[in-house]
Amino acid sequence: MSKCMSLEEAVNLVKDGDSLWLSGGGGGINDPGYLLSGLEKRFLDTGSPAGLTLYHSAGIGDKQGGGADHFAHKGMVRKVVGSHWTWSVNMQKLAMENQIEAYVLPQGVMTQLVREIAAGRPGLITKTGLHTFVDPRVEGGRVNECSKEELSFLFTKDVNDYIFYKSFHLDVALFRGSAADEDGNISFEDEGLMTEALSQAQAVKNCGGVVICQVKRMVERGGIRPDCVAVPGILVDAVVVDSRQRMSMKTEYDETLSGKKRGGLPESEYMPQDNRKVMAKRAAMELKRGDMVNLGFGVPAGVGKVLEESGCQSCIHLSLEQGIIGGVPATGTDFGIAYNPQAIICETNQFDWYDGGGLDVAVLSFAEFDRQGNVNVSKFNHVVNGVGGFINISQNAGRVVFTGTFTAVGLREECKEGRLQILQEGRVQKLVDTVEQVSFSGPYARQTGQPVLFVTERAVFRLADEGVELTEIAPGIDLQKDVLDVMGFEPIVSRYLKVMDPQLFQDIPVKLNL
């Protein structure tokens, strides 16, 4: 008998009080939106399912009521554990108002933890999260006052500290694929990433729960090659078809993002010569031939464009934590997938590789950093944003380059004749005395010997033994007025202070020593 059923039949499988694992990505990527909208409608019509617990390893939503925000109704959820909250603004609001229990765990930890649940193990032991806000000695990942549960505890072996993240029970898995056959075998050939769908389905089935998948189309029994089955039908209880399923909120479908064919980048991926490109160019100068590199959201994603323009893309190995190897990362709301990828692997396996030391360098964004080299990306103005894969990546990479503008809100700059001109200073300091929340620990990086660089559009700093040291300033910038006076702390100024390379500020491909 076919496992395909109507939306109404599928959502009726979810009961009051269930614990759900939802996989997907921000911007509508791999988002089972049709299925989620059905659950939302059922709750609004009947008041059920209520009192749910929701787990999601990545940011899921579109900032327009989609994704996790389909659950953002008073009474529908009682607890949410997620790595990234920025895409689900209505759920953020419930958390900030203490309407729900709310927690943040690292994305890699969550994808690995659901695999531990599938295997019947009690939890995950890892160093990821030590000395950050998810450390049980700090905040334990708790977001608000009503969140009292301890999701982890400190574990010490042979004088080394680890965090033990505890397993939990799951009742329902919700995920998306491309096609399903009558037996419920699921393929992902039209998707831009794999997520942790297999581990998620295995975990829920071994907990005695229900696995529900949304796909774009049904095929006949045996219509999916065995080596193309991402989640076998023995793990799937229900399949719902949404023939209007898009690749993402931004993109209906693009074969160069799914890897079916290779092609040039769309015009929308053009990167103008502005302050963001200055930082992307400068960050690219830190790469070495053969490096395994992770690029984060925002400015770091532009490093892929810089490498392509400079003809050096083949000299290093780009990757994204979502399981992407090679290619050029898409930007904006499509971040997380890539044009012309060499491989798309399971997200969980990608984090295993990262955590074990597979990354030579990570280029990541910062929201703010302080005199100790601590970085915050997870909470500002008392609003939870979460960390995504930031903690796994930043703590476990061989070296880290953080990028971000010097100030924010109202900042206007332009590059002209190889110099940077500040037309209007931003109203918000980003180089502060003490960060609001520790997403990356500078003291811990010094303890482990991890090299750390901070690249802004007007200055470059490094994390030294004595503190944060200023090593470069942009041509056209006044050291006192444009740098020191708009910092919240006094840095060490290098005796060998240099001027940033003028080509960074020119509309030409940067020359890289790769």
Radius of gyration of the chain (CA): 23
Please state, in angstroms and as integers, the Cα–Cα distance from residue 218 to each residue in 13, 17, 31, 329, 370, following that order: 21, 31, 18, 30, 53
- At 275, which helix (H) or strand (E)? helix 275-284
* Rounded CA separation 60/76 (Å): 17
Please state, in angstroms and as integers, the Cα–Cα distance from residue 354 to each residue in 46, 198, 227, 331, following that order: 45, 20, 26, 22
* Rounded CA separation 143/42 (Å): 28
Show the tokens assigned to 336. 């997380």
Tokens 């020359």, residue located: 511
Contact 103, 141 (CB under 8 A): yes
Number of H helices, E strands in the chain: 11, 34
Is residue 321 flagged as an active site residue?
A: yes
243 exposure class (CB count in 10 Å sphere: 0-12, 13-18, 19+):
exposed
Show the tokens assigned to 18. 């269930």
Q: At what angle do helices 107-118 and 197-206 cross, to 10 degrees?
A: 40
In 3D, which of 285, 272, 267 has the Cα closest to residue 510? 285
Q: What are 473's strand-pairing partners?
A: 459, 499
Residue type, 199: S
Pick the catalytic residue from 321, 368, 413, 472: 321
Name all contacts of 205-210 with Cβ < 8 Å and 24+ positions apart: 205/235, 206/117, 206/118, 206/120, 207/117, 207/169, 207/170, 207/171, 209/18, 209/170, 209/171, 209/172, 209/173, 210/13, 210/14, 210/171, 210/172, 210/173, 210/237, 210/238
Residue type, 362: A
Residues marked active site are found at: 321
